[in-house]
Structure 1
Amino acid sequence: MKNHPEVFERTLNGYMKYSERLRIYQNWLYGTCRQIVFFQHRENYESLLELDSNFLYSTALGQFNIFKRRHKDGIDIDPILSIGHTNDSKISSLKRRDNMIAGCRLSGTVFTFDDENEYNEEFVRDSCDPLLDLDFVGDFFVTVSRSETVFHKLSSELGMQIFDFSKNLNIGFQSIAINPSCEKILGAKSDSLHIIEPVKTLVTNSFLHRSQIYNTKWLNNNTFVFTSYSNPLSLIDTRIDFKRQEFSCGNFTATSVDYDGNNGIIYGTLLGMMVLCDLRMPRTFERVFHLDTPAICRNIKSDERHLYVSTDNAIHLLNFDY
């Protein structure tokens, strides 16, 4: 595969004027935005999303795509790079950390994509036990299926990226998330949450919830939030025996969540709404945004300019900088 250096010319928007940042923030606060819809399709499937300052990364069943972001109009609809086909094994997870994108397929393969090693895909699990999710920090990778959790070490051999088997646990999860310090792993399945210490390879804590858990996200090394069917947002402090705080930001069912790294949380709902709330005020919310075409918000990614939402039939852009 040819190298595509222009894909990775990532320049952070560090020189934006203060007045511009303030204007965009006010647009967020008062719900002033323009909506654009991309890639509408009849077949129901979820597009997984990742985002950086210059590019939108997305999946379409078995296909991995990279789109150039535009300042006003969202993205160029022709992908810079497209790998795979929609009829390939479905991509079940897509994660970005630093300059690397990683994903897994139900067939049992894991792929990575970065500016040095390009695209690499390797079979790591028997396809009879489909891969449901992955996460990674540096060269430490975790993959999960319904029956087991496997730790991998990413190494290089003859210029190729290799996933070396490390350890495995005979417990499966629907989703997995590693905290920033790589000291704790959060696994979720059905109505329960589990904390794993990778060094000891032990499940150290567990928490039983009263309904289906949809999403989990670490806020820092000790605290995470999760969304569920019965309550939009709950915060758990793992230092205090799973001390829980509920956020009653509207009577919604949250299906997706994103975090601004400070105090802001935005989540998508079953009814096609995005709710922006402040972690310091658990009983209030700042703003509710409605999709022009109501649909379930399956995946959500945002930054100071744009909010991207995938539904079962399209990708929606809410542009706050126009």
Structure 2
Amino acid sequence: MSAQLSPPFNRYKHNVNICELDEDSLICVFQYLSLEDLGRLICVCKRFYRVINIHVYSKRSAYLLRTGHQRYRFSHVPGRDLHSDFSYRKRIRLFENWRYGRYNEKQFFYHQMLYFSQILLERRWLYMTHRGQLRAHERLVNNERVLNGKASWILGKSRDYDINWMEKNGDLFFAGRTDGSCFVYNCDSGFYRKQQLTEEPITSVDFDAKLFVCTTKSKSTSFWTGFNDINDVMLEKKQQLNEGYQTIKLSPSGANQLAAGKYSDREKKALKLIDVERSLTSTLNSPTRAVYQVMWKDSNTILTGNFDTTFRVIDTRTAQDESVWTDPYDASVYCFDYDGAYSVLCGMKYNFRVNLYDLRIPKRCIQMYFSSKKHSHYSPVYSIAADCSQLFLVTDHDLRVLNFDANNKEKKDYTYDLVNCLY
């Protein structure tokens, strides 16, 4: 005789309304909902609004690529966000725009003659070289205008020798020109000093506190000590190495090391590490023929953009490549921008293209951005800078701004091609 099963015990005498759930239960339910559903629920009541914002939106957006709000950031990578008050939900929306290629494009400073500029981005300002001039343009909160086309101040004249590279630390600029001269400029006090450092074109410069470094493409790298004299800076040569580089960068931990990349090395030993105090040069085991830009991720890690179509992360403690990303279309990396967390944007050699990489995801390109082909079909991206909502890139003939926080954005998603065709 088979046993009869009793009906399941019902502990509730009535159906439970979602509003009667405790906070922990609400969090468990809400974490499975889509962004659209959460947007509707947040309007139901103040309790839902608080739970979703504090426990759902904040956790989802904390470690997002480009738009995350982690507490920890490297001090040598300053914040650039024009809008520092983005809500958690807004950050998720912005991330989706970066991820799926939704943005509006603006064009500034068109010039018919082919040459490229260097740019530096801050929270309120975009600094841009224009031939022999250094210009400061104010960034605008207005999403339609983005940038003030009229410079707030201009240093130098257009007929001066071109500025090849510039760096800014606090209020102080240090820049090198094609005639081998440099200048130091304080944008707060207004003092300006020009000094001849070498007879060769300066390809890259850097400075930290009282140490100033400049290099030429093939002949020399010189170290200078800066002495303050009544709001002025006098540079006195400290030492010189008889080897030149395309790009250099002082380490963020006391500037005791200099990462340097050669323009060409047949033996694929283009990346060097220089001990500043002892003037000793060592070769890092990152096999590449040319390094176009180098940057420190932290005191032990170097980032490089290379001629051989790769972006690399190198650990100086082991002198080995930690990770390598290769461009799917075999184009050189002319420049890159690091946000201090996980995101790297690489300016490529052809077609106005920018690649987005996530340092947590090895070997994969997350997304590509193609600026419109105005005036040229093949321009490289020569200089690049971005915050969490805007991307600035320099082409042969102008400056382009891709705004990911704008209305009526056109979707340009290349994820399908990357995942299904190239990998």
TM (norm. structure 1) is 0.90
CA change 1:25–1:118 in 2 (3 A) is farther
Counterpart among 76, 96, 109 of residue 181 in structure 2: 109
1:186 aligns with 2:259: yes
1:194 deviation in Å? 1.0
1:85 deviation in Å? 1.8
User: Which structure exhibits the higher relative contact order, with contacts defined as CA atoms closer than 8 Å and separated by 6 or more residues?
Assistant: 1
- Kindly provide the CA deviation profile for residues 143-172 of structure 1, in whole angstroms up to 9, marking residues without a partner as x: 112311111122211332211221221221
Greater fraction of residues in strand: 1
Unaligned runs of 5+ in 2: 1-79, 407-423
CA change 1:247–1:112 in 2 (3 A) is same
1:76 deviation in Å? 0.7
- Cα separation, 1, equivalents of 2:295 and 2:276: 18
1:23 aligns with 2:101: no
TM (norm. structure 2) is 0.69
- 8 A Cα contact 2:271 2:288, kept in partner: no
SS state of the match for residue 206, structure 2?
Answer: strand
SS state of the match for residue 97, structure 2?
Answer: helix
Unaligned runs of 5+ in 1: 1-9
Greater fraction of residues in helix: 2
CA change 1:117–1:150 in 2 (3 A) is farther
1:110 deviation in Å? 2.0
1:235 maps to which residue?
A: 313
2:107 maps to which residue?
A: 37
- Cα separation, 2, equivalents of 1:306 and 1:223: 26
- 8 A Cα contact 2:273 2:282, kept in partner: yes
Name the stretch that deviates more: 141-150 or 209-218: 209-218
SS state of the match for residue 364, structure 2?
Answer: coil
1:284 aligns with 2:364: yes
1:93 maps to which residue?
A: 165
- 8 A Cα contact 2:138 2:152, kept in partner: yes
1:263 maps to which residue?
A: 342
1:213 deviation in Å? 2.4
- Cα separation, 1, equivalents of 2:258 and 2:81: 31
- Kindly provide the CA deviation profile for residues 46-77 of structure 1, in whole angstroms up to 9, marking residues without a partner as x: 11000001000001111111001112122111
Report the aligned-residue RMSD.
2.0
Matches within 5 A, 1:168-207: 168-181=240-253, 182-189=255-262, 190-191=264-265, 192-207=270-285
CA change 1:114–1:21 in 2 (3 A) is farther
- 8 A Cα contact 2:131 2:159, kept in partner: yes
Letter in 1 for 2:398: A
SS state of the match for residue 381, structure 2?
Answer: coil
CA change 1:109–1:119 in 2 (3 A) is farther
1:252 deviation in Å? 3.6
SS state of the match for residue 22, structure 1?
Answer: helix
